Structure 1
Amino acid sequence: MKTRKFGLAAAVSVTAALGTVVPSGPAAGAQSALRIYRGTATVVVDVYDYCGGPLWGEHRFVGTSRYKAAAKFVTGPRKSAAGRVERNPFYWEFYVGDIGALGSFQFGSAHVVTASARDLGGNVRDPKLLLGYWVTSRSGTSWSGKLVDSHRAEGATFNHFYGEKTIVPCRDLGTSRFLYAVNAGATVSGRVSSGSAAFTIRGSTYGDNYRFRITFNG
Structure 2
Amino acid sequence: MSTLRNRTTVLAAATTAVLALALTACDGDDSGTKSASPASGNSAAASSPETPKDTSAANTDTAKGSGTTGGSTTGGSGTAGGSGTAGGDTSDSYAYKHPCKSGDLSVRVYPREGSATQQVIEVNNVGANSCGLSYFPRVSLGAANASDHSSDIQPTVPGGLGGAPAYPVKPKTAAIAVIDLNPSGANGLTWINEMNVLADDDHMPNAETQNFELGPDVKVLDPKLGLYRSTVAEAVSSMKQAGTS
Q: TM-score, normalised by structure 1?
A: 0.24
More strand by share: 1
Higher RCO, 1 or 2 (CA under 8 Å, sep at least 6)?
1
Q: TM-score, normalised by structure 2?
A: 0.22
More helix by share: 2
For the pair shown, the structure with the greater C-alpha radius of gyration is 2
